[in-house]
Amino acid sequence: MAMQRMGPLPPGSTIGILGSGQLGRMLAMAAARLGLKCHIYADAPGPAFDVADRTTEGAYGDWTALEAFAKRVQAVTYEFENVPEATALFLAKHVPVRPGAKALAVAQDRLTEKAFITSLGIAVAPYHAVDTAADIAAGLKAFGAPGILKTRRLGYDGKGQVSVAPGDDFGAAFAELGGTPSVLEQRLAFVREISVLVCRSETGAIVTYDIPQNTHQGGILRRSVVPAPLEDEVALAAKVMAGQIAEALLYVGLLAVEMFDLGPRAPEGQRLLVNEIAPRVHNSGHWTLDACPVSQFENHMRAVAMWPLGSGERHSDAEMRNLIGEEALAWRGLAAEQDLCVHFYGKNDPREGRKMGHVTRLFPREMTPAPVAKAKRAPKS
């Protein structure tokens, strides 16, 4: 049984983070703003090591090292969804792990994930389980349309997937993915890709950020613009769906729910389809660092530390763009742009397809702000 600690963690407490990438780095920086320390545990050094109070390099199956790590922290979270479920379950015997292992189990297997989401009455793209090349043909026949073949596990940033259509060499396509259990999804003509960033506390309180529209290139997120051009009722429906998923998982922390918007001509109940969930802070929420008083990273750490959640309200419209590979070498010019918020991740190898940083441009929010109450004067002594 997981060990439980009562009450919020006070400043000076230490939160353990599994994973040493840029998300862990930004989580540690957000924690420092709250006076919380972070101990990074990862199987290899990464950008998060540079900003943490303490680090441990160890395997995710090294139970001795993990137990020692657990003794030095008051709670544990993770910055990537491929943390072994067994690791989270082991740590939960010693220290609270937020979010829990169930979120990992669901998100790590695309077939399990889709079944879980549909069990909540939430629509996903038509899909077909694939264990052999023959299953691809059966799935495409059922769809009557081209599809995307994706590995059930360990796919990210466009990796572990290939497009297929009737007449293709299905054996070659299956072999390209290593012949591993996969999922075939129908290729959809959607209007836009969006994501919902929802943060849930241990008590069930929920904060949802405004919805960005996302553009991908080569399977990698290229750009997020907020707000997405959605009708109010559609945006509300998307937020409700994300909240349902977080509640069903008894989720604690920031959850990203990626969706396809099929547009107003979509059949009833099919306007929004969930693509996948990410049980962690998310690239499409990086704009919150500059456009919100409390970013996705800070709210995640607030939830992990059992603090009250902060407001997800944005004070500005925003456009976030990832810096991929050698684009980061233009840092001097980017830094010279006075209206640009620049974030670099401390990586030294700007290879192709690698996220080196991001930039965010802010714009006045297109709405009339609420009046600010004037501070009352202190009585004269």
The strand pair at 37-42 and 54-57 is best described as parallel
Whether residue 370 is predicted with pLDDT greater than 70 in this model: the reply is no
Kind and range of the H or E run holding 181: none
Residue 294's nearest CA partner among 9, 2, 22, 33 is 33
Q: Per-residue pLDDT tens for 213-245?
A: 999 998 899 999 999 999 999 999 999 999 999
Residues 10-15 have a mean pLDDT of 98
Whether residue 380 is predicted with pLDDT greater than 50 in this model: the reply is no
Kind and range of the H or E run holding 147: strand 147-151
The two three-digit tokens of residue 168, written as one number: 């293709």
Q: Per-residue pLDDT tens for 321-339?
A: 999 999 999 999 999 999 9
Confidence of residue 146 (pLDDT cuts 50, 70, 90): very high
Q: Per-residue pLDDT tens for 253-262?
A: 999 999 999 9
Confidence of residue 373 (pLDDT cuts 50, 70, 90): very low
Q: Which is higher by pLDDT, 375 or 165?
A: 165
Whether the model clears a pTM of 0.95, i.e. scores above it, the answer is no
Q: What pLDDT does 366 receive? A: 75
Question: Where do the domains of the chain lie, and which CATH numbers do they carry?
Answer: 14-97 (3.40.50.20), 126-186 (3.30.1490.20), 192-364 (3.30.470.20)
Confidence of residue 168 (pLDDT cuts 50, 70, 90): confident
Round the average pLDDT of the chain to a whole number and report it: 92
The two three-digit tokens of residue 145, written as one number: 């349309």
Residues 151-178 have a mean pLDDT of 84
Kindly calculate the radius of gyration of the chain based on its CA atoms and give it in whole angstroms.
22
Residue 159 CA to residue 259 CA, distance in Å, equals 19
Residue 149 CA to residue 286 CA, distance in Å, equals 29
Whether residue 144 is predicted with pLDDT greater than 70 in this model: the reply is yes
Strand partners, 213: 194, 225
SS3 (DSSP) at 363: strand
Confidence of residue 5 (pLDDT cuts 50, 70, 90): low
Token pair 């693509």 is found at 275
Strand partners, 354: none
Q: What pLDDT does 157 receive? A: 57
Residues 7-24 have a mean pLDDT of 97
Q: Per-residue pLDDT tens for 85-112?
A: 999 999 999 999 999 999 999 999 999 9
**Amino acid at position 42, single letter:** A
CB atoms inside a 10 Å sphere around CB 134: 12
Whether residue 134 is predicted with pLDDT greater than 80 in this model: the reply is yes
* φ and ψ at residue 140, rounded to 5 degrees: -65, -35
